Chains A and B, each alone.
Chain A
Amino acid sequence: MTKKWILVAGFAALVVSPLAIAEPSDREVQQAMKRDFRAKGQAGMDRLDQDSVQRICTATNNKPPAALAKQLEADQMKTIVYPSGSLMGNWKEGAKIAWGGRGMQWHEDPKKPADGGCYNCHEISPQRTSAGTIGSTLRAFGKTRGNGIEMQRYVYGKIYNAKAYNLCSDMPRFGHTGSLTEQQMKDVTAYLLDPNSPVNK
């Protein structure tokens, strides 16, 4: 499937190429970035190494062929490590993590825990109105969907690796990249699912 897709892309490139200056290949763009970026603070040059998800999503303009997406999503699913026992942490801590927007940037102290930055993109609790709109609304998330173990696994998994559910999702892979700790992801899960959380009031 992958091979077939590459052939199609190659043929498309041949057809388009006579127009003016050929656009650079994805590999050439990678080389330009590696030449023009420098490691700084906690942000090492390895962060420019595209993995298969980033590569395919870039090459297909975030619209991968269904079969390929399914295969890579399954690979991403295998990266998710579930802790044993309940996945519901402390919603009050989860609120702080969802609220904050710091972490993993070159100027920040890597010893300090990162935030989730959830409100940058998602509306979640009615208590906080300054929410972004890139992601879907998560208002009353647990209230409308329940908070059983399957729902807990879904929420925890989605935070851990959103690409396991939607390959070219705009959402970062917080667990897979080591941005949030196991406890932090449990706390955010509780923030979304705990009946006492303001999200579900």
Chain B
Amino acid sequence: MRAIAFSAVLALALGSAHAQQSQFADYQKKTAEASPVELFELVGEDLWKKKQGPKSASLEQCDLGKGPGVLKGAYAALPRYFKDVDQVMDTESRILHCMMTLQGRSREEALKRPFGNANQPSEMEYLSAYVAGQSRGFKLNPGTRHPKEKTSYELGKKLFTVRTGLWDFSCTSCHGTEGKRIRMSELPVLSDPKAARPLMATWPAYRVSNSTFKTMQWRINNCYRQMRTPEPVFGSETVNAMNMYLTVTAKGAVYRGPGTKR
């Protein structure tokens, strides 16, 4: 009862200016309560442990940066530099790497279908859900010390402001000014830790509008599609740099995903 009274007072205090915002928040909360994210994590776990590829091996010995087979907190510490490939990788790039090295699969075969749909989610989406779920409660702590990690961050930071594509957009066209919307979708200012933290703490995520699970590689790919550019290559230095920039900006946020988005 006291909580209800408090909420009522709070609602009055916030007034009509915030009414629309709280509607969004309320919707987000409701969708999260009925989210099938857990199901994706469970299927992902099965796929992680399933023997596949020419080497008939599972991904259980995959080294996501914490040592072979260590999943706890691994997602929260990515992207980072990997010495064995001498490059910065994010979760999906590293999973792809493990598919190729541990299971002996070709890049083409492993990436035949990186993004799924409502009828058939992709293997990568299930695996990402499982891996990310093992970092709940860990603080986002991407690599920032190695020179290549710094280079990746700097590239991502610059990419964020590049005017490009047929329609002259940059990331900041939509994510550069506070309080803006595309249609009814709120646009977070992702260069601001205040906005980047809650967002990066909940990707990858089940997306209600797509009725399926979506990853950060997809999110960045889909932004560029709408920016009317050609397609960025999955797991490329450019996409990983963007992910690095966003994750470093969100550094310190406690990971509580996989989340649920509108």
Contacts and interface: CB of A to CB of B under 8 A. Distances in A.
Interface residues of A, number: 49
Interface residues of B, number: 43
B173 A120 contact: no
* Best-surrounded residue of B147, B177, B229 (most CB of chain A within 10 A): B229
Given A106-B230, A133-B181, A177 B167 contact: yes
Contacts of B238: 32-33, 35-37
A79 to B, nearest CB: 13
| Chain A interface, DSSP helix/strand/loop, else mixed | loop
A43 B154 contact: no
Contacts of A32: 155, 159, 237-238, 241
A172 B163 contact: no
Given A22-B154, A26-B158, 4 more contacts: A43-B230, A50-B164, A120-B183, A172-B166
Contact of B230 (A48, A53, A121): A48
B4 interface: no
A163 B168 contact: yes
Nearest to A20: B150
Interface in B200-258: 224-226, 228-233, 236-239, 241
B168 A172 contact: yes
B32 interface: no
11 contacts: A24-B154, A32-B241, A36-B236, A36-B237, A39-B230, A50-B163, A57-B163, A107-B225, A134-B180, A134-B187, A179-B166
A157 to B, nearest CB: 16
A130 B183 contact: yes
A78 interface: no
B163 A58 contact: yes
Interface of B: 147, 150-151, 154-155, 157-159, 161-170, 172-174, 177, 179-184, 187, 224-226, 228-233, 236-239, 241
Contacts of A21: 147, 150-151, 154
Contacts of A168: 163
A35 B184 CA distance: 35
Interface of A: 20-24, 26, 29-30, 32-33, 35-40, 43-45, 47-48, 50, 53-55, 57-58, 61-62, 101, 104-107, 119-121, 130-134, 163, 168, 170, 172-173, 177, 179
A38 B168 contact: no
B168 A53 contact: yes
A36 B158 CA distance: 15
A40 B231 contact: yes
Given A36-B233, A133-B180, A134-B180, A47 B166 contact: yes
Contact of A132 (B165, B170, B182): B182
B155 A29 contact: yes
